[in-house]
Amino acid sequence: MSTPLNTQRIGKLRRRLNHRRSRYVLLQNALFKIKSFDQLFVIIIAMLIGVFAGVISAGFRTLIDFFRHTLWGEGSLIDVVKAAPLYLKIGIPAGGSALVAWFVMRFAPEAKGHGVPEVMNAVATQNGFIRMRVVIIKAFASAMSIATGASVGREGPIVQIGSAFGSTIGQVFQVSVRRMKTFIGCGAAAGIAATFNAPIAGALFASEVILGDFSAAAIGPIIIASVFGTVISRALYGNFPAFVPPTYTLHSPIEIIFYIILGLATGVVAWIFVRSLYKTEDVFDSWKAPVALKGLLGGALLGIVAIYLPEILGVGYETMDRVLSGNMGLALAAGLVLAKIFATSLSMGFGASGGVFAPSLFIGSMLGGAMGGVIHMLFPEITATSGAYALVGMAAMVAATTHAPVTAVLIIFEMTKEYTVILPLMITSIIAMVISSRLLKGSNIYTMKLQRRGIDIYGGKDINILDKISVKDLKKKIIDTVPESMTLQELLEKLSTSSALNTYVKDDIGQLIGIITHSAMRRYLNHHEEIPDHVTVREMMNQKFEVIHDETPIHEVLRKMIEMDLEALPVVDENQLLQGEVERTAIVHQYQELLIHAESAKAMANSMKYVHRQYHEKSEVIPGFFLARINVPSAFINQSLRSLNVRQSYGVDILLIRRAEGNKERDIIPDVNEKLHASDQLLIFGEQVKVELLCNTN
């Protein structure tokens, strides 16, 4: 039993909590009132996100320094690594990598890797929803990765952390999807601006790379956030450029030729870098071993390489300063190009958490420094020193890997405050981007990661939504088929009463041999009397046509329709026998239905986030129709949605499946082949009576 003293303490504690809760409610109500003044609300939130990004950027750098000094000791990373005993050179990267790989997989798998692709995916396919826990997990994991020597940068984590905060603010105030994406852009811009002391480049990076949106409604708040992020960073660290290169000049117009050569080489090296990065990830992903073991062995291998080339560890700003000032040998600079590609690919492969922007700067500076040294040695009278080429190489490599040349040029300018090489900077960056874009078939270092998952961000939605549609389901029976011997007069009479898009021509054994589109024949309808009687269908049909099968992906079907300018395509079997056709309008209608379904499910999944799993909950959406969250009925367990046929059997739609996997939950867009698990929850929609009936089903 509680003593009187304990009862008094409990009462005081309750009063204190109620007082704090009331103050929180007042603050929340005040902010929601501000929200009614839309422009003012957006400006205030953009400022808030900018301040947060500036503070978290400073805190992130402090956390990296704390871990590094604790593990390696005081001094520059290269010096302390050189002086460290052999067991620490291998043990610290190995132990740190194992810890990070396990920690990320355990608490937030989306915190693994770059950070930027995950933000782009959230914008393109998740309506801007990012979990707030990413802020904490990403900060710790990335700081530990960089401090223990993983060859990654700090800009990717800051972008993801700032974007996660922007998304959380949007979720708290229940803003529109468009506004949510703007807040994510604010977080990304402020993060880049605070990290590199580059407000213009930060705003452009968010608009050009993250959002792909330069509208006034988006760019305004992004600039505000970028400014406030920079203000906080400068207040804490001073207004100093990230790099301080010597002053350079363009010695001769002929020198532009050498920068063009540098652009060509950078485009090729960028292609090697990106391909190596994802090939290494494939190797580690295919290795069926615990993630901690992958991190341990990968980190140990990184430490072995660092015994001979400690410059590859961490972000690498010290080494970049050396090559920019011309204090690095050509052989070392050239060797570090390949070594850094290997180290970054290895770090990303075994599960390190960090960005690829800084490694791109590093590789570009080393490549430029090495090539510039050789060029200056051969043509000293008309060329600048190697540092100028290193500076240009940094911008060119960023442009080649991100396909964002404007951001690349501006960020180098803002990071160095060096304007004298702006002309070679621009031409080299564009050439490098064109070459790498050609080699990478239009992908960049960020979008390739998403495309490998089947996500087309430029299409705006997950391509897997489109591929949930099957040819077999949309195929309709062909009525309008004709023999090749039919005369054109007979065909025109047949078309005059037909509504079909295509007429298919078959031979004597039933194989498809040609297509006649009604649009192509329409011009003959009013002049059929003038057509000679002996003209047959075979003479008029199109014999160069595409066919599809039941297993053909729908996005491939659409591609063929566009290329052939057809509204429908024939479906054939393995013997080329005609089975039916698929119309473009049917695909579009089905896609729109699935898209609305997916959008609604994702939005409603967010509203379910705080609902306890043990109870049913339902709410009226429109008069007579309810939305409900239920535990999966026992009769549904291990059954596929196709076999259950819930819509026909129960009169409701399953909008979302929430699946518990250990301590994590995953939201699944329903698929007819998906089997339900005992731990699943279902988000269902339908008439009140039907919903309540299913809620009471055991």
pLDDT digits (tens, 9 = 90+) for 88-140: 999 999 999 899 888 888 887 767 777 788 888 777 767 777 877 777 888 88
- Classify domain 37-459 by CATH number: 1.10.3080.10
Structure tokens at 202: 């930060």
Element (H, E) at 666: strand 664-668
Cα 52 from Cα 58, distance rounded (Å): 10
Q: Are 670 and 606 in contact (CB under 8 A)?
A: no
Domain 608-695 has what CATH class? Answer: alpha beta
- Rounded-to-integer distance, Cα 68 and Cα 75, Å: 10
What is the band of 27 on the pLDDT scale with cuts at 50, 70, 90? low
Phi then psi for residue 579, to 5 deg, are: -110, -20
CATH number of the 471-588 domain: 3.10.580.10
Task: List pLDDT tens digits, range 390-413.
Answer: 999 999 999 999 888 888 888 888
Please tell me the predicted confidence (pLDDT) of residue 504.
79
Helix axes 155-172, 133-148, angle to 10 degrees: 170
Average pLDDT of span 337-343:
94
**What pLDDT was estimated at residue 690?**
82
Q: Is the pLDDT of residue 362 over 90?
A: yes
Q: Is the dihedral of CA 243, 244, 245, 250 positive or negative?
A: positive
Q: What pLDDT does 615 receive?
A: 43
More confident residue, 449 or 485: 449
Where do we find the tokens 């729908």?
554
CB 445 within 8 A of CB 401: yes
Q: What is the pTM of this model?
A: 0.68
pLDDT of residue 611: 42
pLDDT cut 70: percent of the chain above it: 80
Domain definitions of the chain by residue range? 1-29, 37-459, 471-588, 608-695
pLDDT score of 491 more than 90: no
pLDDT in tens, 280-337: 988 888 888 888 899 999 999 999 999 999 999 988 888 998 998 888 889 999 999 9
What average pLDDT score do residues 437-460 get?
74
pLDDT band of 688, cuts 50, 70, 90? confident
Residue 650 predicted with pLDDT over 60: yes
